Amino acid sequence: MEIDRKTCFDQARRVVVKVGSGVLTADDGLNTDVIASLSRQICHLTRNGLEILLVSSGAMASGQKKIGLDRRPEEIPKRQAMAAVGQAGLILCYENAFACYNRQVAQILLTSDDLSVSRRRYLNARNTLHTLMAWHVVPIINENDTVVVEEIKFGDNDNLSALIALMMNADILVNLTDIDGLYTGDPRTDPEARQIPEVARITRDLEKTASGLPGVLGTGGMLSKIRAARKVTVAGIPMVIANGREEDVLIRLFEGRARGTFFGPAHGRIPNRKSWIGFALKPRGEVIIDQGAARAILEKGKSLLSGGIRDVTGDFGAGSPVHIVDPDGRHLAAGLVNYSATEIRRIMGCQSCQISEKLGHKSYDEVIHRNNMTLLG
């Protein structure tokens, strides 16, 4: 489809802005000038009718500088303590900056479990954010580094911002970093690297082009931003990567000026519940299907039946989230299964009319109903 950057920005009403550590930090701690500029721009845009949710890095970097450490400690308790020190300073800096424009802010700290384990917790978080926006309070969202462990990490704030955009049905995701966008190579080492202004489709070759190396203070490199773009564009939400240190970059973007790299939406919007199934829930296993089942799912909009299943990985119960994988190993969709892994292994390759014979019962004809399935690409 043709990318229309201007239309996307003109029609946007709800926006998620993610700002990275490389933008927010200076040699002596937080870059207060950048925070003041971002706060001013956000207040300007909200006065013009936009709703903006801010996903902000900077707590770890702020804490590192405040404590006086030369580098991040390896020990988890020390890193979490450093984040606790930095988070206090980060939110205070934002509060003071927004107060200059009579705008209040709210701190929202999340772990992956808040969005991926319980539908109730997911809806509670969404309702809280809706309430804050109704009160014209700017939510400032970050991962709760002080309590998070590897099993419940989002991975980085690029991923978190994508999940927030999906959860809140945002119209666009703006990812502010310390370079001008996506390049054909690493501009730090390749003098011939050229900026890519627009991306219509995210391919594996494009992911290989992106650098996965994090910055000194950040945790996500360009590759994590590409993966975030893949999540939101599949769900119909465009994204732009732009330089957060450029003067008035947010205002210029919404004035229709071409800045950064724009990722166009792949197709129309998908319902919130399907976004949750496809991108927030962590898969408990994989269901490998044959080419016929893959075509039925991708081209005909069908549910997944037992006859098209060839293998199962993982140990999960009925109702669990899984990924549907084709014979070439491509992850086609995510869905909620109607049967456990043990039961699926017993009925795979069988017709639906044979399920009762194999299991002694038949709760559903479908292993994964189309209503509980989200295409991933």
Tokens coding 80:
């979490």
Q: Is 225 annotated as a binding residue?
A: yes
- Residue 333 pairs in a beta bridge with 324, 375
| Cβ neighbours of residue 85 closer than 8 Å, sequence gap 6 or more | 62, 63, 66, 67
Q: Is 375 annotated as a binding residue?
A: no
Tokens coding 216:
């000194």
SS3 111: coil
Q: Is 146 annotated as a binding residue?
A: no
Q: Is 219 annotated as a binding residue?
A: yes
- Is the separation of the CB atoms in 285 and 313 below 8 Å? yes
Q: Is 18 annotated as a binding residue?
A: yes
Q: Is 189 annotated as a binding residue?
A: no
Q: Is 211 annotated as a binding residue?
A: no
Burial of 203-242, coded b for 16+ CB within 10 Å and e otherwise, reads eeebeebbbeebbebbbbbbbbbbbbbbbbbbbbbbbbbb
Q: Is 7 annotated as a binding residue?
A: no
Q: Is 57 annotated as a binding residue?
A: yes
- Residue 138 pairs in a beta bridge with 105
Q: Mind giving me the DSSP string for 40-108?
A: HHHHHHHHTT-EEEEEE--HHHHHHHHHT-SS--SSHHHHHHHHHHHHHHHHHHHHHHHHTTT--EEEE
Q: Is 145 annotated as a binding residue?
A: yes
Q: Please calculate the CA angle 266-129-59 and round it to the nearest 5 degrees.
A: 90
Q: Is 220 annotated as a binding residue?
A: yes
Annotated binding site for ATP: 18, 177-178, 219-225
Annotated binding site for substrate: 57, 145, 157
Annotated binding site: 18, 57, 145, 157, 177-178, 219-225
